[in-house]
């Protein structure tokens, strides 16, 4: 999307001020880096068959927090990012607002600095390189495989609230009129998760603990005609994964 188009969308959305080299990481329980992500995900899925939906969500949130960082800038704009390959953080480009002055914090309170190595305002993606990160890396899922009604789990750093907060929602199918109004190019995953300012750039997981997208905006106009109270836009990881990996590979 061109920047002029993005600006028009920003007029009707509250853009939350919130954030992948080779795939590695953890899901619901710590796993060794030597275990292939696909194997780890399969083991997690098998274990989840014996859990309730609430227990699965709680497990994904716990592991997801280990894969998340909160981002802070001097002007008070909170943001969120997710850890990729233990040395990169991915966030929304609008979180940083062309600044290189920011700090990051993991769920254990460790602070990190980093260098922005890639910015794409059109896709609203930024890649930060950070050294000696202790968090776990995300496992990329397949956002193209989502179905209407699938549960999505978001983690963020709300401007008014506790860092590493979370919310859940369902994948939505919008009617033609609303889709034309807010997302005519069908660039986003739509969900009824209640993301707020500070969630932008934060990871969105499926019920297997796999990353399927990044929170980017919330629709704030009247939704009384619909069966949902919140409408959030999520950047599908399948849309931007290749450019993220290219940006990280170029830095090696």
Domains of the chain as residue ranges with CATH: 3-250 (2.40.10.120)
- Residue 42: CA count within 13 A, CB half-sphere: 5
Residue 12 has pLDDT above 90, yes or no: no
195 is written with which tokens? 């993301």
Tell me the three state secondary structure of residue 39: helix
Query: At residue 232, what are phi and psi to the nearest 5 degrees?
Result: -115, 150
84 is written with which tokens? 């990729």
Among this protein's residues, is 62 annotated catalytic?
A: no
Least confident of 2-16, 157-171, 193-207: 2-16
Q: Which of 200, 214, 215, 232 is catalytic?
A: 200
Among this protein's residues, is 190 annotated catalytic?
A: no
Read off the pLDDT band of 150 (50, 70, 90): very high
pLDDT at 157: 96
The residue among 180, 184, 206, 195 whose CA lies nearest residue 233 is 195
pLDDT at 14: 40
Q: Which of 124, 143, 214, 232 is catalytic?
A: 124
Among this protein's residues, is 124 annotated catalytic?
A: yes
- pTM, to two decimals: 0.80
d(Cα 81, Cα 128) in Å, to the nearest integer? 9
Least confident of 70-74, 199-203, 208-212: 70-74
Q: Mean pLDDT, to the nearest integer, of 26-37?
A: 47
């Amino acid at each position: 999307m061109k920047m002029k188009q993005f600006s028009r969308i920003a007029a009707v959305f509250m853009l939350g001020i919130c954030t992948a080299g080779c795939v590695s990481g953890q899901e619901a329980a710590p796993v060794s880096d030597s275990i292939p992500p696909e194997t780890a995900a399969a083991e997690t899925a098998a274990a989840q068959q014996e859990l309730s939906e609430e227990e699965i969500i709680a497990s994904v949130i716990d592991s997801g927090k280990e894969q998340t960082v909160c981002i802070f800038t001097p002007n008070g704009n909170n943001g969120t990012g997710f850890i990729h390959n233990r040395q990169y953080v991915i966030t929304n480009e609008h979180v940083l607002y062309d600044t290189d002055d920011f700090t990051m914090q993991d769920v254990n309170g460790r602070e990190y600095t980093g260098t922005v190595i890639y910015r794409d305002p059109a896709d609203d993606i930024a890649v930060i390189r950070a050294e000696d990160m202790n968090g776990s890396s995300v496992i990329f899922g397949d956002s193209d495989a989502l179905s209407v009604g699938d549960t999505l789990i978001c983690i963020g750093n709300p401007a008014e609230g506790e860092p590493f907060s979370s919310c859940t929602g369902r994948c939505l199918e919008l009617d033609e009129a609303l889709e034309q109004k807010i997302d005519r190019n069908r660039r986003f995953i739509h969900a009824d998760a209640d993301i707020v300012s500070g969630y932008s750039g934060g990871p969105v997981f499926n019920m297997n603990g796999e990353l399927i997208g990044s929170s980017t905006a919330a629709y704030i106009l009247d939704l009384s005609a619909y069966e949902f109270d919140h409408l959030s836009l999520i950047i599908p990881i399948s849309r931007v994964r290749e450019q993220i990996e290219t940006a990280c590979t170029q830095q090696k």
